[in-house]
Amino acid sequence: MSKDKPSLGQVMMFRSKDFIEWSDEALAVVLKRSPVGGALDLVLKDFFNWATRNSLYPLHFGIMCCALEMAVASAPRFDAQRMGVIYRSTPRQCDILLVNGPVSKKLKPALRRLYDQMPAPKWVIAMGECAISGGPFYDSYNVVKGVDQFIPVDIYIPGCPARPEALIDAFLKLQKQIKEEKRGLLTGK
Ligand code: SF4
């Protein structure tokens, strides 16, 4: 067999996951560099922006007591779903990392990995004093003094605990921010 020709085994190694990653990158480069991406963004920007801000998918991830307030915010009384906020359990399907509770030094790399696994565009909400600064545990040897030490945060919700109404207000503020950002989905500009 010629040295240049890949064997059948090598061809089979190009699995669907690799293909999706490769085609995603190739498509992103083509769309960013060619006028096609810019033109599509120009036409579809407003629609994508409207769809993005009205279908926010936070990661269903809770650390401590504030997680109960997060759960109540989507229960019938407060009903966050009416604004298109639907919790998902995998970072691959999410665009909001909603951090609530104290982040320990042991949890920090896992939380960073979850953030990295979320596809762009994505936003971060720090809910409650623990997520903002370490809260009552700020001087503990094992608590990170705020999630913004290692992940960029867009919205801060003060309180111990942060109330469900405050979380809903944060979702509304984020919707406003997304509307003002007006990011193109294909070119990111
Ligand atoms: S901010 Fe207060 S209520 Fe929220 S997780 Fe920390 S200690 Fe619990």
Nearest Cα neighbor of 97 from 123, 132, 121 is: 123
Query: Per the domain annotation, does 4 fall within a domain?
Result: no
> Which residue range is the domain that position 73 belongs to?
66-181
Residue 9: pLDDT above 70? no
Going by C-beta distance under 8 Å and a sequence separation of 6 or more, which residues neighbour residue 154? Answer: 123, 124, 125, 174, 177
- pTM of the predicted protein model: 0.79
In this structure, the answer to whether residues 39 and 79 fall within a common structural domain is no
Of 189 and 26, more confident: 26
Q: In what helix (H) or strand (E) does residue 179 lie, and over which residues does it extend?
A: helix 164-181
Query: Per the domain annotation, does 20 fall within a domain?
Result: yes
Query: Per the domain annotation, does 187 fall within a domain?
Result: no
Q: What is the pLDDT of residue 185?
A: 65
Nearest Cα neighbor of 56 from 41, 73, 69, 72 is: 73
For residue 42, give the 3-state DSSP assignment: helix
Residue 3: pLDDT above 70? no
The bridge status of strand 96-100 relative to strand 155-157 is: unpaired
Neighbours of 113 (CB within 10 A): 10
Q: How many structural domains compose the chain?
A: 2
> What is the pLDDT averaged over residues 69-89?
92
Query: Per the domain annotation, does 163 fall within a domain?
Result: yes
Calpha distance 158→85 (Å, rounded): 20
Query: Per the domain annotation, does 17 fall within a domain?
Result: yes
Q: Residue 66: CB within 6 Å of ligand 1?
A: yes
Q: Residue 160: CB within 6 Å of ligand 1?
A: yes
pLDDT in tens, 119-134: 988 999 999 999 999 9
For residue 124, give the 3-state DSSP assignment: strand
Of 11 and 79, more confident: 79
Query: Which residue owns the Cα nearest ligand 1 atom 5?
Result: 101
In this structure, the answer to whether residues 38 and 89 fall within a common structural domain is no
In this structure, the answer to whether residues 34 and 73 fall within a common structural domain is no
CATH number at residue 111: 3.40.50.12280
Query: Per the domain annotation, does 24 fall within a domain?
Result: yes
For residue 59, give the 3-state DSSP assignment: strand
pLDDT in tens, 152-189: 999 999 999 999 999 999 999 999 999 998 776 665 56
In this structure, the answer to whether residues 89 and 40 fall within a common structural domain is no
> How far, in Å, is the centroid of ligand 1 from the Cα of 49?
33
Query: Per the domain annotation, does 90 fall within a domain?
Result: yes
Listed range (43-52, 108-117, 120-129) with the worst mean pLDDT: 43-52
